[in-house]
Structure 1
Amino acid sequence: MNHYSRFPAAVLPRVDPASLVDDPHAKLAALRVAHPLVQLGDRQYMALRARDVIEMLTDTRTAQIEGADYVRLNRIPEGATARLLRDLFLFSNGDEHRSKRGLFARAFAYGAMKASQDKIRGVADRIVADLPRGESFDFIDRMAARVPAEMTAAILGLPSTGIRYVAERVYVLSQAISPVYPHAAHAQIDSAAADLFAYVEQQALRRLHGPEGDLLSTLVADWSANTVISFESLVHQIVGIIIGGLDTTRAAFAMLVSLLAQHPQQWAAVKADPGLIPGAVSEGLRYDPSVGSIARFVTEPLEIGGVTLPAGVMLRVSTMSAMRDPDLYENPECFDIRRADHPRLHTVFGLGPHRCIGEMLARLELQESLAALAAAVTTIEVETAPRLTGFGGIRQITPMQVRMR
């Protein structure tokens, strides 16, 4: 069903990105009803409706924004952050993208990740066992942040003593991937980028000289057998994998648990039937995603909702808005873990050649962590509910205080 009338080409609202930071769902919904497309700034636009979002993710007239363009458009000063963003396979296309991403294909394949499922559950059980019972505590610090950090460390083979060091820098650096680059925080972001690069470089060099039977050793060995990129670039790609896995999963898990706690019948259903857990994870990722949009670069003129965009502009496709679009989901404002209308390929992970390479790992981390929590905890009382702020890129999460029994 098409819930929208045709949009007159003359009406293209210009929206201040800062106005979308707080309560973005309501603001995007209001804009989506009247406008399939909005202008965010000079030569920057955002598609809001599911039909256009899904089409633009694979439309050959758009391409993933290149790292150099991302740095230039966001006016990021020269330094460790700019070097990283220019080099990431996330921000590349064609042969460059295939050669960089291909180094990780074997390590993140379905079979390899499934083989790590028991290890992931073991980490989840250990984290849940450490949680306080009957007293108030910071859920993000005590569990949501530990889940991806400790699981990523366990799978990659990073030493446990470095987990907090890495995680703290990732949470600072992730601010660089947002619709509005926070220039006021650039010094901290660039310092975090330099620290993280140096740490991963040291770990990778160690495995280059002596494999240790972990995933990081596999990645280094695959690179050594096919050196299509420099060692510095390999380190950048590993840093990118870590950033993508830590901050997004931390926020996604916190929001999932908060949503279930606020819907006690659905929490009880998950506890009674672990078979509902994959659906609960998919619904949490849809209802309030930790990544709000994907940036595309328009390479040829194209039309969205009666407006022709010229080549050379940035188009943000709002997956966040699309996943609340009634054209894609029935009753999209309703959180429902039994929902049966998720697309076969979940929109939150993107589509096409740039679909998230870590999807399987993220799903397993979220599913096994929820399973461990549901098996060990009877009730979850949310004293301070978290909020995800922002509308694009990696969104930021506010504190979450809980009490469990």
Structure 2
Amino acid sequence: MLALKEQSRLQAEQQNQDKSKFMANAAHDLRNVMQPVENFLDVSLSALTRGDTQQTQEYLNEAIIANKVLCSAVNALLEISGLQSGIINLQLSSFDVRVMAAEVMQTSQSQAEQHKVKLLLSKAHSGPAIVHSDRQHLKRILANLVVNAIKYADTHKGDAATVAVAIISHAKHIRLDVLDNGIGIPLAEQENIFKPLHQLHNPARDRDKGIGLGLSIVDATLKLLRDHHIKLSSKPGCGTRFSLILPKGEASAPDELEQPTHDLSNDLSELYVLLVENDLLVKRSMVALLQANHAQYEAVSTLAELHSLLPTLARYPDIVVTDYRLSDDCTAVDVISAIQAAFGKDLPTLILTGETADLSPLLADRTILHKPIAARQLLAEISQLTQGKFPI
């Protein structure tokens, strides 16, 4: 009994040490990716003050790139934190994994072209490959594996650098392979690559390769999905294969390939947006985004301001965009109730939140987006919810 207690104590101490090390490393990496955003914005303002529009544009483009890296890092840290604490809502269903794989390859194409990597999707499996899983989480797992393979492509192979996805059906499971002919992973490191913030072949901490959380997210997600496993085989200089072992599902209606998101036209003049946001900096940035895209809008900070505004509106807003957590212990649920009471019906509502908890049980059938999100993606979501009231 004493031996078991001592073993438990040592395990708890090791877990605390691992968490402390993880937080210290995460804070270090976040500070690193925040610095170039600050630097490029500062020199952009200086160039604008001098009237140098060309250099202003160049610096702003660099700031945008740095900010995308920062957003990716923050989202990855939030996701791994939620997964490790079990704060996710699994939506299990049966679906054709071929369709999902095609979607991932489609969305990864531009990144592959940037790294001069060829993407291939195996056509060997002719019939449906039905798996029983959480579609969105499995899609993120596959996307992480594909993107990881792209980032670590062997640049010495030139046009021959390739990442392939293959689907193999077995009697009791479906195997989903992600293969590459990249730099490979030494045997001694293969147990470490799933640890948070652990990166190989990146001594200079090139942020184009991320911050080392992609495979950790894969591992943490698979631990929450029953009968889902991953296998790894790799040889330095030859390449790597990750194999996802997935449970078979029941045949269902055929899936359709999701259409790629198109860029917006910058003319949202037909759109009328009701914005509810209590963080003043976020509110100002949202107003600037709507103004820049010529949308009509009303913006309030509190539920009390919303109650005062609603009777004065000349027409229904096309969409309500609201934060989840507002002042005075109010939430988006109160915003929705106020809208229903004022207009006698629901309006399309988008919840933009910084919460990490699963809000879907409280906000059934509502679109929930988590900050930070790319401005173009946010506008695309608004477009979809308003059913194309403005062109895309």
- How would you bin the TM-score normalised by the shorter chain? under 0.3
Which structure features the higher share of strand residues?
2
Higher relative contact order (CA 8 A, sep 6+): 1
TM-score by length of 1: 0.24
Q: If you compute each CA radius of gyration, which structure gives the higher value, 1 or 2?
A: 2
TM-score by length of 2: 0.25
Which structure features the higher share of helix residues?
1
